[in-house]
Amino acid sequence: MTEDAINQNPNENPESQNKPEVSPPASPVGEKTPPIEAKEKVSRRSFLTSATLAWGAFAVATAGILTGAGRFFFPNVLFEPPQTFKAGYPDEYTIGEVSERWKEKFGVWIVREKGMIYALSTVCTHLGCTPNWLGNEKKFKCPCHGSGFRSTGINFEGPAPRPLERYRIVLADDGQIFVDKTKKYQHEKGQWSDSESFIAV
Amino acid sequence: MDAFKSIINSLSEPQIMFSFLVLVFFFIFPPSDKLYRIHKKLRLDLLWTNVGGVFIFTGLFVFFGLGVTDENFRLIVTKPDNVPIVGLLFLTIFFLWLSMKQGRDNDIRLAEGQKPNEYHDPEDKVLVWPDLVYIELIAIVLCSILLMVWSIYLKAPLEGPANLADSPNPSKAPWYFLGLQEMLVYFDPWLAGVVLPSFIVLGLMAIPYIDSNRKGQGYYTFNERKTEISLFLFGWLLLWVFLIFVGTFLRGPNWNFFGPFEEWSLSKVVPLTNINLSELVYVRWLKTGLPDNIFLREFFGISFVVGYYLILPPLLARTILKKFYSKMGIFAFSMFVILLLTSVTLPIKMYLRWTLNLKYIVAIPEFFFNI
Amino acid sequence: MADPKKKTMFQKIAESQFLKSIFRTGIPHTRRQRMMAVLNNVFLHLHPVRLPKHAVKVKYTWCMGGLSFFVFLVLTVTGILLMFYYRPTVEYAYGDIIDLAEQVPLGIMREIHRWGAHLMIITVWLHMFRVFMTGSYKPPREFNWVIGVLLLVLTMLLSFTGYLLPWDQLAIWAITVGSNMARATPFLGHEGPGAALLAIGDINLVHAASDVRFALLGGRFVGEATLLRFYVLHCIGFPFIIMIFMVVHFWRIRKDGGISGPT
């Protein structure tokens, strides 16, 4: 394409010259419809419809892109430590004691009471600090805001709004305790009677 | 000396200190004409003179000077991350004094029919070069020196490597968020951590649209903007800066309260057995036991909250805040009242906690909905 | 100076072709030259040429807005320098922070950055306080006050995201406590009121791996992904946003009639 071509046809799309089979663009509507009033009425209505459509499409597309961008922050794969583990045999835990064996590694306390074993989450229900088990006072005490929980996980002092959560706990085929942190049981929802929220021993 | 320290320790209990500050506050920063007359009669405006300034700062320096001789006090105040807050204390009080002093001077001038001190002949201007650029240069140099000296003498704190299984006791947020962390003692996280901060930010943004007073622009004054200044300072000084001080200096292990001269002992036991409004009503007063139906159980709490936000605003518009309502129009007034009522919920919950050990007004942990 | 025709060394240098090509006005002596010195310089041009007298009084302005900007620049420079050594991974972060103090010459770079961050929050607060006490947010400056509040929030967010980077106990627990509040955001956090209502049948739409806290942390707890996210937000994300708002803030000061003053 030469510069002359541009000068001769300043309004035409330059590409159309390379492709002569493409029909020239339709002449503007105004040339076809002589009565100006009628033309205005029709074109205003059609203009409004097409403008609504265009803006609608624009809004949908923008919303789509923004949703996609928001979704960008939630990856499909998470590289986090495993959420399930085997915690040994029930006999390894003494009745009436809170075991801190898995606190560091998996964030779980195994509590054995008379007749049952359950796994408590070490995440304080107030703001997610890790409470400490005070053996002498028989309570979990959170250092951040002073919430206190009994060995059962029930909250009794401080700002924590609800008891500690239990994790799913079952006996595996080999007789070991199997803790699954992906499923939680909350006392205030009445889930602690669920058969997998504790092991009867 | 020890007796004096223990007096200070018990006086700085939040119950006592907060009540005292609230009481004194409205006489020092009177929001209405009536209180302003009392303020004048008590000669409290003399605080905002040179003599008053010397008085305030001598008091502060003597307190800190004697304070650092105490080991526990020194330990908190000189902790590297706490040093900026000690600076903030002095700076806030200094600039408060500076602005109030200029406001007082201007108020006197305005009462005599003169223009404020800041007024100069509009034709008589100064050039940015050299008048402003040199001031900027000096400010920059001084600021750099301050920063350098600070950095050389105080190491940035660095504790042991991160370990999610071991929460330090106490665990504190960065100091500028300690006001929020202190609110967490009285409110559930969704309120103290999300709703109230949003209200603070939106409320700050709304100030120019709520404030319909066109006087007092471009100069320091108190008399012409009593209500605005009083309310703003109440929020800024008492509900924000004061809470930061409490959260930083006076909250120790287990987030228990410790006086400025008290040792941060891990074994301090404070009974924290709190009850909800529903338990208070059904168990203690009516002695019937909690009903099973959630809405029946929380009926009193919910109606209290709904009443607070729906009945109180129109009531206020007809009574004490009548003047504001007619001046602001319904939209700005609603915004103003809702912000005002929301900021008052903090003292309300504080006092309910201190007097009745009340934890939640509405407690529906089933839906994480606790107020 | 007795002979006005005789030029000092300093004057000769100042009036050399090279310096004249940079600073067109030379050393400003006359009123006109002084005005041109401000007008011809892109940085000084943030200022107007002439100001009302009260505007240059420290008693009135406290210099706090300008100092906030200056401290921001200091933080940008020191921050860039720190980035040469710091690696935002759980494995290296803590060690790199120790090395920055012990193995790098001028080992107070981190101190300047940290204390500068504290200082900036204080100066921004005091700037807001001054603007309130002089009633400078009143029309026509309402919108600039709104921008200012946004800048205040961004300043605190910048400081908050930076707080995690040393990866020590102080950092991780401050962020854990701080970000756990996001867990309780109404509807958007999995422990917030209303979140349970957003469910299709038995499947909760808002759970620990799909709520607003997850987006912030990049995981269900503060970990490797969080460190990277906070690093990016701290070094690029928030500085980018705050600069945009700062440009608007400064521009609006001029457009809204310059510094406030009595009429």
Q: Please check whether residue B172 is in contact with residue C174, taking contact to mean a CB–CB distance below 8 angstroms.
A: yes
The structural domain count of chain B equals 2
Cβ of residue B253 closer than 8 Å to a chain A Cβ? yes
Angle between helices C64-83 and C238-255 (to 10 degrees): 160
Residues B361, B228, single domain; the answer is no
Mutate to test the interface with C, among A67, A71, A73, A123 (most CBs of C within 10 A): A73
Q: Cβ B133–C44 below 8 Å, yes or no? A: yes
- Residue A167 tokens read as 């994790």
Q: Which of residues 57-116 of B touch C (CB under 8 A)?
A: 81, 84, 87-88, 91-92, 95-96, 98-99, 102-103, 115-116
Q: Nearest 5 degrees, angle CA C19-CA C20-CA C26?
A: 100
> Nearest CA to CA, how far is B99 from chain C (Å)?
7
Residues B27, B93, single domain; the answer is yes
- Per the listing, tokens 């309120």 go with B191
- Residue C89 tokens read as 């991974």
Q: Please check whether residue B163 is in contact with residue C169, taking contact to mean a CB–CB distance below 8 angstroms.
A: yes
* pLDDT over threshold 60, residue A7: no
- Residue B84 tokens read as 């900026």
Q: Please state, as a whole number, how many other Cβ atoms lie within 10 Å of the Cβ of residue A119.
A: 27
Chains with ≥3 Cβ pairs under 8 A against C? A, B
What is the dihedral sign for C-alpha C176, C178, C184, C190?
Answer: negative
Phi then psi dihedrals of residue B319, to 5 deg? -110, -105
Give the nearest partner residue to C50 out of B127, B147, B175, using CB atoms.
Answer: B127
Q: Please check whether residue B298 is in contact with residue B362, taking contact to mean a CB–CB distance below 8 angstroms.
A: yes
Side chain identity at B158, as an amino acid letter?
L
Give the nearest partner residue to B273 out of A127, A157, A159, using CB atoms.
Answer: A157
Mutate to test the interface with B, among C96, C97, C173 (most CBs of B within 10 A): C173
Q: How many beta-carbon pairs below 8 A join chains A and C?
A: 32
Task: Give the residue-averaged pLDDT of C153-175.
Answer: 93
Residues B247, B282, single domain; the answer is no
pTM: 0.88
* pLDDT over threshold 80, residue B96: yes
* pLDDT over threshold 90, residue B294: no
* pLDDT over threshold 90, residue A103: no
Strand partners, C50: B127
Q: Cβ A73–C181 below 8 Å, yes or no? A: no
Q: How confident is the model at residue A115 (pLDDT cuts 50, 70, 90)?
A: confident
| Helix ranges restricted to H, B236-276 | 242-249
**Cα→Cα distances B329→B65, B324, B332, C143, C146, Å:** 51, 8, 6, 20, 21
> In the CATH hierarchy, which top-level class contains the domain C53-164+238-263?
mainly alpha
Q: Cβ B139–C129 below 8 Å, yes or no? A: no
d(CA B336, CA B339): 5
What is the dihedral sign for C-alpha B175, B177, B178, B181?
Answer: negative
**Is the model more confident about A5 or about B273?**
B273
* pLDDT over threshold 50, residue C135: yes
**Cα→Cα distances A118→A164, A167, B105, B205, Å:** 12, 8, 71, 50
**Is the model more confident about B371 or about B210?**
B210
Q: Residue B81: which domain range? A: 2-125+219-255
* SS3 label, residue B126: strand
**Is the model more confident about A172 or about B165?**
A172
Phi then psi dihedrals of residue B364, to 5 deg? -125, 75
Q: Cβ A143–B365 below 8 Å, yes or no? A: no
* SS3 label, residue B226: helix
Domain ranges (residues) in chain A:
35-79, 84-200
Please report residues of A whose CB lies closer than 8 A to that of B168.
143
Q: How confident is the model at residue A14 (pLDDT cuts 50, 70, 90)?
A: very low
Residues B245, B331, single domain; the answer is no
DSSP classification of residue C124 = H
Lowest mean pLDDT among A123-132, B344-353, C88-97, C130-139: A123-132
d(CA B350, CA C143): 35
* pLDDT over threshold 60, residue B39: yes
Q: Please check whether residue C126 is in contact with residue B189, taking contact to mean a CB–CB distance below 8 angstroms.
A: no
Where residue B187 falls (left for φ over 0; alpha for ψ -120 to 50; beta otherwise) is beta
**Is the model more confident about C243 or about B256?**
C243
Assign domain A84-200 to its CATH superfamily.
Rieske [2Fe-2S] iron-sulphur domain (2.102.10.10)
Closest Cα partner for B360 from C153, A189, A126?
A126
Residues B225, B362, single domain; the answer is no
Strand partners, A140: A133, A149
d(CA B13, CA B250): 9
| Distance separating the N- and C-terminal Cα atoms of chain C | 44
**Cα→Cα distances B352→B69, B156, B191, B251, Å:** 37, 40, 17, 20
| Helix ranges restricted to H, chain C | 9-14, 17-22, 31-39, 58-61, 64-83, 93-102, 109-133, 142-164, 169-183, 212-217, 224-232, 238-255
d(CA C183, CA A123): 13
Give the nearest partner residue to C220 out of A73, A80, A129, using CB atoms.
Answer: A80
d(CA B106, CA B94): 18
Residue-level pLDDT at C184: 81
* pLDDT over threshold 60, residue A20: no
Task: Give the residue-averaged pLDDT of A149-164.
Answer: 86
Mean pLDDT computed over every residue of chain A = 79
d(CA B189, CA A125): 10
- Per the listing, tokens 């059962």 go with A152
Chain centroid to CA C34: 30
Tens digits of per-residue pLDDT, B308-344? Answer: 999 999 999 888 888 888 888 889 999 999 999 999 9
Q: Nearest 5 degrees, angle CA B235-CA B237-CA B239?
A: 50
Residue-level pLDDT at B43: 93
Closest Cα partner for B236 from C130, A126, A118?
C130
Please write down the HEC assignment for all residues of A98-158.
Answer: EECCCHHHHCEEEEEECCEEEEEECCCCCCCCCCEEECCCCEEECCCCCCEEECCCCEEEC
Q: Cβ A127–C220 below 8 Å, yes or no? A: no
**Is the model more confident about A27 or about C255?**
C255
* pLDDT over threshold 70, residue C257: yes
d(CA B189, CA B174): 17
Residues B237, B337, single domain; the answer is no
Give the containing element (helix H, strand E) for C200.
strand C199-200
Task: Give the residue-averaged pLDDT of C14-21.
Answer: 86
Tens digits of per-residue pLDDT, C166-176? Answer: 999 989 988 88
Cβ of residue C168 closer than 8 Å to a chain B Cβ? yes
Chains with ≥3 Cβ pairs under 8 A against A? B, C
Q: What is the dihedral of CA B191, B192, B194, B200, to 10 degrees?
A: 110
Closest Cα partner for B277 from B308, B309, B300?
B300
Give the nearest partner residue to A143 out of B164, B171, B270, using CB atoms.
Answer: B171
Q: Is the peptide bond preceding residue A28 cis, with omega within 30 degrees of 0?
A: no
* pLDDT over threshold 50, residue B365: yes
Residues B356, B285, single domain; the answer is yes
Residue-level pLDDT at C163: 93
- Residue B241 tokens read as 């800066």
d(CA C55, CA C130): 13
B181 within a domain of the structure (yes/no): no
Q: Which of residues 99-158 of A touch C (CB under 8 A)?
A: 127-129, 144
Residue-level pLDDT at B10: 87
Q: Cβ C169–B168 below 8 Å, yes or no? A: yes
The pairing of beta strand A97-99 with beta strand A84-86: unpaired
Residues B104, B225, single domain; the answer is yes
* pLDDT over threshold 70, residue B52: yes
DSSP classification of residue C222 = S
Cβ of residue C160 closer than 8 Å to a chain B Cβ? yes
Closest Cα partner for B184 from B166, B201, B170, B163?
B170
Q: Please state, as a whole number, how many other Cβ atoms lie within 10 Å of the Cβ of residue C146.
A: 18
* pLDDT over threshold 60, residue A34: no
- Per the listing, tokens 């105040």 go with B77
Q: Please check whether residue B29 is in contact with residue B230, taking contact to mean a CB–CB distance below 8 angstroms.
A: yes
d(CA C145, CA C253): 10
